[in-house]
Amino acid sequence: MRIATWNVNSVRQRLGHLLDFLKEAEPDALCLQEIKCLDADFPRAEIEAAGWQVETHGQKTFNGVAILSRSKLEDVRRGLPGDEGDEQARYLEGVLPLGNGVVRLASIYLPNGNPPNTEKYPYKLGWMKRLTAHAEMLLEHEEPLVLAGDYNVIPEPRDARDPAAWVSDALFLPPTRAAFRELLNLGLTEALRSTTEAGGLYTFWDYQAGAWQRNNGIRIDHLLLSPQAADRLAGVKIAKHVRGWEKPSDHVPVMIELN
């Protein structure tokens, strides 16, 4: 099974790129973030016509997540538990068939948290705490689990071309990185880092200051795997070339292969 994640940065603006990527990469499931539209405005017809099942958790103008899959997503959950007052559309979860069993898959758009001296940073850390609590519960099922998405976390200095430029940013602050480690310490495996220790591997390049042209990137899009999923991991790929397409998202897809 091939699972991909991609912060598409407005699904309606990037619909052509999305359809091209689906045709090129042929994933079994694709988690999208920042679809930036209500469920009713998602370009469902075009994507279903290409052979995909669609589940969305949208929000007008901001945020929004989706899962596109070849098989119908079952046991769908919209929204991260733990705060009934949270109206931001950042979490979508469901179950897909995998061999004789299933894989539970989530599309995650973790809060950015900037500026750190505002209410946005406590919201980010609170959201990460809720995610950790929910992941701990999901791990009790002892099934293949993939938590995929834009985490807005730079885990280590090697995950940024210029770490010094990020020391005061919510993506790289010590509490952010500690919260990410706490999530991993539940027993989750970060897919890319289980296959390589190399630096210079990025998933995001800002639109400003020629970041893409200078390869001034950061790695903030991750797939975290339960032990049962990690045992099936056969490979990880960053589709870096997508950033070079005309009017691209500032993120690129990341894909894993599960046996």
Residue 233 corresponds to which tokens in the numbers above? 């991991």
Whether residue 93 is annotated as binding a ligand: the answer is: no
| pLDDT tens sequence for the chain (259 residues) | 999 999 999 999 999 999 999 999 999 999 999 999 999 999 999 999 999 999 999 999 999 999 999 999 999 999 999 999 999 999 999 999 998 899 999 999 999 999 999 999 999 999 999 999 999 999 999 999 999 999 999 999 999 999 999 999 999 999 999 999 999 999 999 999 999 999 999 999 999 989 999 999 999 999 999 999 999 999 999 999 999 999 999 999 999 999 9
The pLDDT value given to residue 72:
96
| Active-site residue, from 28, 121, 150, 221 | 150
Whether residue 34 is annotated as binding a ligand: the answer is: yes
20-77 residue pLDDT tens: 999 999 999 999 999 999 999 999 999 999 999 999 999 999 999 999 999 999 999 9
The pLDDT value given to residue 99:
86
The pLDDT value given to residue 209:
85
Supply the CATH number for residue 21's domain.
Answer: 3.60.10.10
State the SS3 of the chain.
CEEEEEECCCCCCCHHHHHHHHHHHCCCEEEEECCCCCHHHCCHHHHHHCCCEEEEECCCCCCCEEEEECCCCEEEEECCCCCCCCCCCCEEEEEEEECCEEEEEEEEECCCCCCCCCCHHHHHHHHHHHHHHHHHHHHCCCCCEEEEEECCCCCCHHHECCHHHHCCCCCCCHHHHHHHHHHHCCCCEECHHHCCCCCCCCCEECCCCCCCCCCCEECCEEEEECHHHHCCEEEEEECHHHHHCCCCCCECCEEEEEC
| Active-site residue, from 17, 57, 91, 109 | 109
Whether residue 112 is annotated as binding a ligand: the answer is: no
207 is catalytic: no
28 is catalytic: no
Whether residue 159 is annotated as binding a ligand: the answer is: no
Number of domains forming the structure of the chain: 1
How far, in Å, CA of 154 to CA of 169, rounded? 10
Domain that holds residue 235: 2-258
Whether residue 57 is annotated as binding a ligand: the answer is: no
Whether residue 250 is annotated as binding a ligand: the answer is: yes
CB-CB contact of 219 with 198 (8 Å): no
17 is catalytic: no
